Structure 1
Amino acid sequence: MSHTLNIKTAGIPLKQAKKALIMVHGRGGSAQDILSISQHLNVNDYAVLAPQALNHTWYPLSFMAPVDQNEPWLSSALEIIGETVQAVTDAGIAPENIYFFGFSQGACLALEFLVRNAQKFGGAVAIIGGVIGDKINRENYKGDFAGTSVLLATSNPDFHVPVERVYATANILKEMNAEVTEKVYANFGHFINEEEIQLANSIIFK
């Protein structure tokens, strides 16, 4: 199984925008679902793009399963994120003006893409997510974020994403020169809360 490039959009047209936000939906979600969150973010002058996963799932198993068990879906999903970024850069928007927002499986996928392709981006918000794999393979992670701001927010406990993996992901991002903000909510559940939106606006979309 592989994904096909199917990007839904919101905000201003890509060719008119100076900034772009790429939003990555979670398992069972849709591009339209995650796009609706952009209405609550300070991105009125952004082009907003959300790729759609085939069958609403980027990869079949837990993000903490051995990587080879999530193939070929995972590699295909990472390629889709890369192609979405390429569509933005082809429109003349530099990487430092490209932002990311992911939730749950989408947060995991966005983070995995970012650490494999680190450079100066505009910023990233990952709500309930971490880097992918039963073990963390640092050999896959290359580049320098050059001070890119990243917000990691999660609930503890969360039945999909152990908080330990969120902390480990934060450490990797910091080692790669990202400016990381971590926020852990006790027993909040597997949702996006209003304070996370406010944090995203004050830290990333300011």
Structure 2
Amino acid sequence: MSLTEGPRLAPSAGGPADSLVVLVHGYGADGRDLIDLGAAWAEILPHTAFVAPHAPHPCDQMPVGRQWFPLSLADPHAIARDTLSALPAFARLLDEERTRLDLPWSRVALFGFSQGAMMALSFAVTAPEPIAAVVGASGFLPPLLPPGLAPSRPPVLLMHGGRDEVVPVYALTATAAALSAAGVRAETHLTQSLGHGIDEEGVERAGLFLAAHLAPPTG
């Protein structure tokens, strides 16, 4: 039985995928919330497959939605604990998808929104093998890294809205600083007029970032 439930998009160019982007939704949503990003990026990522898995648990506060773990924004350390607890199942899901497509981890990228960004960033910097890239939108990296260099240091893009009332904008600079301290360089993209969401400018910026790091292998 597949671990992954949620929509998928095959490469727009046809043929086998040379890379995979996993779209990780936020708290109370499901994979259908983000799968349209794959269609938006199809032209610049024509050989990339997209999957937007549903989180495994019904949402505590919105039963029609899903959650990766119970969420209390008031306690970052509880979020770190719950994120760590959720990571093994998340890693198995990712491994199933990349194995299905016969791709190495180096050809896998993640895009996460809100709670999905917490999952994507946390996996990316603790993974046993480096992934191609990770984009975290309107989220943050929970305080789960011990002092020293992160086990994995992929390219990172952090995006945030200046009017975000769910995850305050200071999470952008705090996460960038935490990543820097762990040896991970992060690009940042701030849209001052944006709330808790993704706008067209962010979609374009994220797509170009992913395309740059998923360029077809040469040689």
The match for 2:157 is: 151
Q: d(CA) in 2 for partners of 1:69 and 1:197?
A: 27
Residues 94/185 of structure 1: CA separation in 2 closer, same or farther (3 Å cut): same
Q: d(CA) in 2 for partners of 1:26 and 1:194?
A: 18
Q: d(CA) in 1 for partners of 2:116 and 2:32?
A: 13
- Normalising by structure 1, we get a TM-score of 0.81
Q: Counting helix residues as a fraction of each chain, which structure ranks higher?
A: 1
The match for 1:86 is: 95
How does 1:64-143 map onto structure 2 within 5 Å?
Answer: 65-68=75-78, 74-91=83-100, 92-117=102-127, 119-132=129-142, 136-139=143-146, 142-143=150-151
Q: Is the 8 A contact 1:149 1:203 kept in 2?
A: no
Q: What is the CA distance between 1:76 and its match in structure 2?
A: 4.9
Give 2:173's aligned amino acid: Y
Give 1:50's aligned amino acid: A
Structure 1 stretches lacking a partner, 5+ long:
none
SS in 2 for 1:138: coil
Structure 2 stretches lacking a partner, 5+ long:
59-65, 213-219
Between stretches 153-162 and 112-121, larger displacement belongs to 112-121
Q: Is the 8 A contact 1:100 1:110 kept in 2?
A: yes
Residue deviations 1:16-42 (CA, integer Å, cap 9, x gap): 322111110011211122112211113
SS in 2 for 1:159: coil
Q: Is the 8 A contact 1:98 1:123 kept in 2?
A: yes
Q: What is the CA distance between 1:170 and its match in structure 2?
A: 1.4
Residue deviations 1:138-186 (CA, integer Å, cap 9, x gap): 31873132xx322111012422222222212212333444442101121
The match for 2:217 is: none
Aligned-pair identity (%):
26
Give 2:145's aligned amino acid: R
Question: Is 2:188 the counterpart of 1:182?
Answer: yes
Q: d(CA) in 1 for partners of 2:83 and 2:90?
A: 11
Residues 130/69 of structure 1: CA separation in 2 closer, same or farther (3 Å cut): closer
Question: Is 2:57 the counterpart of 1:59?
Answer: no
Give 2:127's aligned amino acid: N
Give 1:30's aligned amino acid: D
Q: Is the 8 A contact 1:101 1:125 kept in 2?
A: yes
Q: Is the 8 A contact 2:159 2:202 kept in 1?
A: yes
Q: Is the 8 A contact 2:25 2:115 kept in 1?
A: yes
Residue deviations 1:83-126 (CA, integer Å, cap 9, x gap): 12211342421111101011111111211222222643211111
SS in 1 for 2:35: helix
The match for 2:34 is: 34
